[in-house]
Structure 1
Amino acid sequence: MSIEAVNQLNTSENRKLLYTYLVKQTIKEQNVPLNIAQKFAEHVIRKRDKELFTYHGLAWELGSKNLEYFCMFFLKDIFNNKEEGTAEIAPIHKEIWTDIEDVILHNKHSKQGYILPRSTGKSAFGNLATVTWSHAYGYKKYSLVCSSIGSTAEKFVKQVKDALVDNLRIETCFGKLLDPNNKKFICNSNQLELMNRSMIESISSTSSMRGRKYGNIRVELAVLDDYQDENDVTTHEAREKKWKRFVDDVSYAMQKPQYKDGKIVRQGALLALGTLQHSEDFYARLMKLPTWKFRHEKGVLVDDIDELFNEGKWLEFKKILFKKDNEHRLEDAKEFYYQNEEEMKFPVLWDSYWNCLDMALDYYSDPVSFHQEVQGNVNSKAQKRFTTIITESAETIESHEFLKTMLCIDPAGTRNKGKKKDFYAFAVGSKSDMNIKYIRKGEVFRFEYEDYMKHTLKLLKHYPDISHIYVEKNTYSGADVINLQELIKKDKELNKRSFEWLNHAQTKNKDDRINTIVADVNMGRIVFNEEDEEAIEQLSEFAGCDFSAHDDFPDIVAEFSKRIDEINLKNKRIKTFDRRVIGI
């Protein structure tokens, strides 16, 4: 690299960063006091003043021992870009990098895992940094990154490519490591062959690791980055399948340890980074293995997250936020926080990046999801999902202007008496001009098929603005819809109206469906009729399908919320009117 490039790097800021990390490395290696380390660092920098940022110079040498310095200097645009407002790294990130050094450099252990909150930067700090560093110095010849979906795998390869190509710091101190235009080296959406003859490959977790090689070298570093998705955890069979595939793959995929004088000098390494989704999911099982070292961190650093957000100033905040008659409740709650910010702040894992107010709003939107995604607590799945349910009187609801209205029905077979799913669930729902969804009538019944037919006609007559009817297909396979259509044709009042029918079988996991409305219900974006006490009780008691007596009404509300958004308006706004005027 040219003298001009070296001089471009030899700035006071870069020299200061080099000095700072040289001091830290000296203390770490020689176990000396700070003042001795400072004098040593000053001496080294003076002695090697002409080769601080040259090819294989002091910066390169320090980076080979210190992953944190490598990231802060050579990958500055990602981890230390103050010009673009990069958040200051947190202690957890430094701890991750120290762990990686122990795995890659010192062979202290070969399997390291992390259960971290969402938005902790797992992929950047644990995956991208590790793989780039390991290959820049040739510590690993063949790395395999496994993600739950193929697009994530391709995204990772692009990130590595962007980090190395046209990176002045890398190319000055290492020489060119990656040249996409050089046809002698592989460079595509899934594979990067570096010019130091090492390979980085990224695959979907559904692809097998077994039998993969680069030359004669098996996988030396495997990174399991968000290795599972929702489909891998919803059933016992899915979880077992995921686990068996991993166990079978790893047994044959990883490079065996190499020894010299009885000591390991090179070995295959495994890193796992993810979020817990179930008490028996892939990461939960991995954590229980004695051969793995794990860090399991929570996002909010308090013992009881529910206690924090339900007492003191946060309880006052909550009351303001859920005051249903206040159209400006969100703005008022935020203003209350700003006025009491110092008193309401709480410790978080990444305080330079995460905002206490935003985290609190996430918690109030969906406490169970917050426990899982942020606190790493999957046992909270047995907690009630709907902590706040906003209701209005029927009169108040009917005073609103609605853009579209539909009837949603979840039938129950008459043969299911005594079983869990033995309710017919009905929801007459509308979407208002303020983008609020209203369950104008929500009902659950145990009755016979004939009663189901009669009650449906009754609801259609009572709500003349219903234009769409959704009926779940799983129970009667569409026979009930045919019967209803015949009855409507024979009814003098209803046969003048036109309905669009939606009759589909449910295949998606029910918990997943219901989880889509948790935030909307808790934050008051779905409002209920206060008269519908039995249906609302089902909703309020819902704690997940496996932990709830009934789930019919939450399920039909979730279906309504999804379907109403899919209805395309053909006519302008429909203004509701008081049906009592015409005797309905």
Structure 2
Amino acid sequence: MLKYKDNLFGKDSLSVMIGNVSIPFFCSYFLQDTFVAKDDNTARELAEVHYEIWDTLEDMIIKDKFDKLELIMPRGTAKTTVCDFALSVYLHAYKKSIYTLVCGKTEQDAVEFIAQTRQAFEENPYIIEAFGELINTKENTVNKLELELDNPNGKTKIQAISSSTSMRGKKYNGARPSCIIADDYQSKSDCITQEAREKKYLTWVEDSEFAGDKAVYRQGKKIKSGTKFIILGTILHSDCFMSRLLKNKEYKHKVRRICNFDVDKYFHEGLWEEFRKVYFNNKLQDSVSEAKEFYFQHEQEMQYETIWQDKYDCLEEAISYYNNPSSWKQEMMNDASKLGEKWFTSIKTLPYKSEEGKDSIIGHKVEKMMLTVDPASTSTVRSDSFAFVVGSVSNNGFKYVHKGELIKYDARTQFDDYLAHIIELLKTYKEIIAVFIEKNTFNGSDANQLEKLIEEDSELSGRDIQIINESQRKNKDDKIASCVSAVNNGAVIFNEEDEDFIEEVKSFCGQDFSLHDDAPDCLSEFYNRIDLIKKIEPLRFFNNLKIKY
């Protein structure tokens, strides 16, 4: 080591030599502004899992122990930065890869990745001091998806593509990719149906088969490594691309979760169960603030260990779990085992009328009330129903379903009956200020006719009723998921008389596993829209106003 005593950090220095054989050292020194917390940056203290990833990459790239790696991590663990970014810079600083191909979920993800990598080679003083200026600026100003480097031993290239772009046949100077990284290669749309899940997996298997090179052996000795494949992501379905890849024995697999305990049990016992009861207590004026105050009073006792203590806040993660357990467990625990099970496990109901005949479902003042309507296009036994929800939000923030109905109408012959029922609901519930009608079935003709009927009706024409008519564009599962936790925790209260409507909500298991979704779909439309409706207060005139001059 004596020859390095006067050259610790420059070109051909000791640091360059150590970085060549140690990916953790390379990242900790040459990429220190990204990975090392200092007074002049916002980097977080790395967790054990990040060094574990670098050790695994070192076994794969430097020691050549295996060619294919699947890395399943929770959302937010910086896997893109720790793996994609760091590894790409390392591979091309040392020219260990002639051509690296990175597959992002979207083209925008690909553009951002190239921009971050370019910045490291152009602006990082530790990289420039040790490896020189590797980017030919003039040749790299046009294509935002490619980065060509002038390594002293020859040119290399980093290219980023979206997951919808095929990897097949891609070459650089006659060479196929030395390393292929797929980051969040699947999206939710790739998991909705069995056909979509099958297509995503087969596309990867077939493309990867022809995108890389096999290892080359001569007289039993490996003289060239095969293409390295690295797939990063989270579990989105029990049979999604990442889940199926777990069964592929060609890959080395690493699965990590945000915490290593039974979250369903932990968050429903002890202090956390007390927190949950306060958080979803509809009798409190501000249940969220009171629940957080309870947490801060018991903060030390309510701490739990996570995969990255400097990143994940115990309170924020618990609230995310309570608000959408299924989604949180998929993204943070890589657990899709509950898919296909009923989403709505607990529904709070109240008698609608008290003994005095008053509306007793409401424990607080009604702030806003609306009607949501989801028309069906067919009328067979297995077809959907017309769904109606009369709902309100009270001054304590809780929501109430005054009426939830499912009615079989023939869309072709009972159009007038369908509109007459809306008019009947408007007259029954006089506080309704808005009507939302899904546009997909009648393409706006029902909304137009309803507006005319309201204008012609002596009782309704004097009310300011807003009519909203929009097409269904969002994924239904995503939309319905937004209200699941609120319903399960009693933040949405139902009329106990609406048994058919409630039963269909309770039986929902996701689009792929449910015969009907009209009730939960219409319910979620109310749940999400009521907060956006603006109530127009009537003008008030004061006759006794005295003006002084």
Distance 2:197 2:73 in 1: 20
Q: Is the 8 A contact 1:234 1:509 kept in 2?
A: no
Q: Is the 8 A contact 1:386 1:521 kept in 2?
A: yes
Q: Which amino acid aligns with 1:51?
A: N
Kindly indicate whether residue 27 of structure 2 is the aligned counterpart of residue 63 of structure 1.
no
Kindly indicate whether residue 469 of structure 2 is the aligned counterpart of residue 469 of structure 1.
no
Q: Is the 8 A contact 1:187 1:193 kept in 2?
A: no
Q: Is the 8 A contact 2:364 2:394 kept in 1?
A: no
Q: Which amino acid aligns with 1:74?
A: F
CA positional deviation for 1:119: 0.8
Q: Is the 8 A contact 1:405 1:468 kept in 2?
A: yes
Q: In the superposition, relative to structure 1, how do residues 67 and 279 fare at CA in structure 2: closer, same or farther (>3 Å)?
A: same
> Where in structure 2 are the equivalents of 1:413-452 lying within 5 Å?
415-417=379-381, 419=382, 422-430=384-392, 436=397, 438-448=399-409, 449=414, 452=418
Match of 1:459 in 2: 425
Q: TM-score, normalised by structure 1?
A: 0.81
CA positional deviation for 1:477: 5.7
Match of 2:92 in 1: 135
Equivalent of residue 407 in structure 1, options 353, 362, 371 = 371
Q: In the superposition, relative to structure 1, how do residues 60 and 429 fare at CA in structure 2: closer, same or farther (>3 Å)?
A: same
Instruction: Give the 3-state SS of the residue equivalent to 1:379 in structure 2.
Output: coil
Match of 1:21 in 2: none
> Where in structure 2 are the equivalents of 1:501-540 lying within 5 Å?
501-506=467-472, 508-519=474-485, 521=487, 527-531=492-496, 533-534=498-499, 535-540=501-506
Q: In the superposition, relative to structure 1, how do residues 399 and 312 fare at CA in structure 2: closer, same or farther (>3 Å)?
A: closer
Distance 2:493 2:321 in 1: 22
Equivalent of residue 179 in structure 2, options 192, 198, 221 = 221
Match of 1:40 in 2: none
Match of 1:556 in 2: 522
Distance 2:83 2:489 in 1: 34
Q: Which amino acid aligns with 1:138?
A: K
Q: Which amino acid aligns with 2:70?
A: G
Q: Which amino acid aligns with 2:202?
A: K
Distance 2:454 2:268 in 1: 50
Match of 1:188 in 2: 143
Instruction: Give the 3-state SS of the residue equivalent to 1:341 in structure 2.
Output: coil
- Greater Cα offset, 90-99 or 454-463: 454-463
Return 5+ residue gaps in structure 2 as ranges: 353-358, 541-549
C-alpha offsets along residues 427-446 of structure 1, whole Å, 9 cap, x if unaligned?
12346677x47345231234
Q: Is the 8 A contact 1:397 1:529 kept in 2?
A: no
Match of 2:241 in 1: 282
Q: Is the 8 A contact 2:193 2:512 kept in 1?
A: no
C-alpha offsets along residues 51-77 of structure 1, whole Å, 9 cap, x if unaligned?
111212111111111111111111111
Instruction: Give the 3-state SS of the residue equivalent to 1:516 in structure 2.
Output: helix
Distance 2:210 2:126 in 1: 38
Distance 1:353 1:175 in 2: 34
Q: In the superposition, relative to structure 1, how do residues 210 and 277 fare at CA in structure 2: closer, same or farther (>3 Å)?
A: same
Q: TM-score, normalised by structure 2?
A: 0.86
Q: Is the 8 A contact 1:408 1:560 kept in 2?
A: yes
Q: Is the 8 A contact 2:371 2:435 kept in 1?
A: yes
Distance 2:527 2:319 in 1: 21
> Where in structure 2 are the equivalents of 1:20-419 lying within 5 Å?
44=1, 48-83=4-39, 84-180=41-137, 183-185=138-140, 188-196=143-151, 197-264=155-222, 265-302=224-261, 304-386=262-344, 394-395=359-360, 397=362, 400=365, 402=367, 405-412=369-376, 415-417=379-381, 419=382
Distance 2:370 2:461 in 1: 17
Q: Is the 8 A contact 2:403 2:495 kept in 1?
A: no
- Greater Cα offset, 250-259 or 390-399: 390-399
Q: In the superposition, relative to structure 1, how do residues 330 and 468 fare at CA in structure 2: closer, same or farther (>3 Å)?
A: closer
Distance 1:187 1:72 in 2: 32
Q: Which amino acid aligns with 1:232?
A: D
CA positional deviation for 1:518: 3.2
Distance 1:552 1:271 in 2: 41
- Greater Cα offset, 138-147 or 532-541: 532-541
Q: Which amino acid aligns with 2:343?
A: R
CA positional deviation for 1:464: 3.5
- Greater Cα offset, 375-384 or 504-513: 504-513
> Where in structure 2 are the equivalents of 1:562-581 lying within 5 Å?
562-564=528-530, 569=534, 571-572=536-537
Q: Which amino acid aligns with 2:232?
A: L
C-alpha offsets along residues 364-389 of structure 1, whole Å, 9 cap, x if unaligned?
11111122111111111234434566
CA positional deviation for 1:155: 0.8
- Greater Cα offset, 550-559 or 450-459: 450-459
C-alpha offsets along residues 336-383 of structure 1, whole Å, 9 cap, x if unaligned?
333333333222211232122221111111111122111111111234
Return 5+ residue gaps in structure 1 as ranges: 1-43, 576-584
Instruction: Give the 3-state SS of the residue equivalent to 1:238 in structure 2.
Output: helix
Q: Which amino acid aligns with 2:150?
A: M
Distance 1:411 1:138 in 2: 61
Instruction: Give the 3-state SS of the residue equivalent to 2:371 in structure 1.
Output: strand
Instruction: Give the 3-state SS of the residue equivalent to 1:373 in structure 2.
Output: helix
- Greater Cα offset, 77-86 or 127-136: 77-86
Question: How many percent of aligned residue pairs carry the same amino acid?
Answer: 37
Distance 2:219 2:50 in 1: 34
Instruction: Give the 3-state SS of the residue equivalent to 1:343 in structure 2.
Output: coil
Distance 2:205 2:517 in 1: 36
CA positional deviation for 1:316: 1.8
Distance 1:355 1:573 in 2: 45
Distance 1:241 1:97 in 2: 32
> Where in structure 2 are the equivalents of 1:470-489 lying within 5 Å?
470-475=436-441, 481=447, 484=450, 488=454
CA positional deviation for 1:145: 0.7
Structure with the bigger percentage of helix: 1
Distance 1:217 1:433 in 2: 66
- Greater Cα offset, 511-520 or 75-84: 511-520
Match of 2:546 in 1: none
Distance 1:202 1:447 in 2: 51
Q: CA RMSD in A?
A: 3.0
Q: Is the 8 A contact 2:364 2:395 kept in 1?
A: no
Q: Which amino acid aligns with 2:161?
A: I
